[in-house]
Amino acid sequence: MKKDAKIYIAGHNGMVGSGLLRRLKAEGYTNFLLRSSKELDLRNQQLVNELFEQEKPEYVFIAAAKVGGILANDTYRAEFLYDNLIIQTNVIHAAYMNKVKKLMFLGSSCIYPELAPQPLREDFLLLGPLGPTNQPYAIAKIAGIKMCDAYRDQYGCNYISVMPTNLYGPNDNYDLEKSHVLPALIRKFHEAKRDGAKEVVIWGTGSPLREFLHVDDMVDACYHLMLHYDEGGLVNVGMGKDISIKNLALLVKEIVGFEGDLAHDMTKPDGTPRKLLDITKLEKSGWTPKISLRDGISQVYADLQDEEWY
């Protein structure tokens, strides 16, 4: 990518999109096409087509999506399916119609079968049933991968798909109804410490294993792949190691400095038992993660604790 190439980041106000923008600016890129969700509803095909026809971006990152944790995914099933399907479909097709040089579609590790062998390799896609709680979101993301491959096969488009593990970092969502588990834990322990609470409650047994990647590592991987990777299919982006939700909670408890107890709400679901990504393909492309989980959470909390973020 030339430094003056026009780059469209769909979802530039989100955690990954804002991280991509920070990184690209740091690398010297200067020509960005940016529209907030208030300025452009990506669910409106006509408006998306008009944007591409008028602006003619050369490179596209699709980081726009309707996202959330277990509760949000299970509650807003129709919205998660419809919104994500139509957003990515509109952008991918407009990119093809306007001869975009390269596009990166960002998905999610929930695309894999619920009980697939671990760690999750890219070729495990569609080999078994999906987890029920986030099935609509996963189906939408799988459709995005297949759409990128179909446009590659039929039209020769250089569209690549990247599947990140659970992400955290600057500009994360700390809404307890809609956030993912790590930001929710940070907020819960911070507020419990502030309020002098005796305990913090986590959902379920705490036994499920999850993998967490700092968003700065994620965008570093995306930048690397945008420059050096041009194949179909998908690429996992993760840490290559996981941690139980209980041990994650204990780590956050330690970093925050909460001295109360950890309790379990056994009426709430655990979710998928384990989701660890195999990052062999990513490592073979020349990239490895750099930020440890302890260091990443410590930095996030140091940046947050003095702000009115809750």
Is residue 309's pLDDT more than 60?
A: no
Number of structural domains in the chain: 1
Looking at the chain, the whole-number percentage of residues with pLDDT higher than 90 is 83
**What string of DSSP letters covers the chain?**
--TT--EEEETTTSHHHHHHHHHHHHTT---EE---TTT--TT-HHHHHHHHHHH--SEEEE-------HHHHHHSHHHHHHHHHHHHHHHHHHHHHTT-SEEEEE--GGGS-TT--SSB-GGGTTSSPPPSTTHHHHHHHHHHHHHHHHHHHHH---EEEEEE-EEESTT----TTT--HHHHHHHHHHHHHHHT-SEEEEES-S--EE-EEEHHHHHHHHHHHHHH---SSEEEES-S--EEHHHHHHHHHHHHT--SEEEEETTS----SEE-B--HHHHHTT------HHHHHHHHHHHHTTS---
Instruction: Give the model's pLDDT for residue 307.
Output: 64
Q: Per the domain annotation, does 227 fall within a domain?
A: yes
pLDDT number for residue 306: 66
For residue 185, pLDDT over 60 is answered with: yes
The answer to whether residue 109 sits within a structural domain is yes
- Catalogue the active-site residues: 137
User: How much is the pLDDT for 259?
Assistant: 95
Is 128 part of a structural domain of the chain?
yes
Give residue 177's pLDDT band: very low, low, confident or very high (50, 70, 90). Answer: low
- pLDDT score for 173: 81
In a domain, 187, yes or no: no
Asked if residue 254 belongs to a domain, the reply is no
The more confidently predicted of residues 59 and 304 is 59
For the segment 199-228, what is each residue's pLDDT rounded down to a tens digit?
A: 999 989 999 999 999 999 999 999 999 999
Mean pLDDT, to the nearest integer, of 154-181? 89
Domain contains 164: yes
Using 50, 70 and 90 to split pLDDT, how confident is the model at 308?
Answer: low
* Residue range(s) defining the domain that contains residue 81: 7-168+212-239+279-291
**Residue 268: inside a domain:** no
Residue 285: CATH number of its domain: 3.40.50.720
23-32 pLDDT, tens digit each:
999 999 999 9
260-306 pLDDT tens trace: 999 999 998 887 788 899 999 999 999 999 999 999 999 999 988 76
Does 306 map to a domain?
A: no
* Mean pLDDT on 62-66: 92
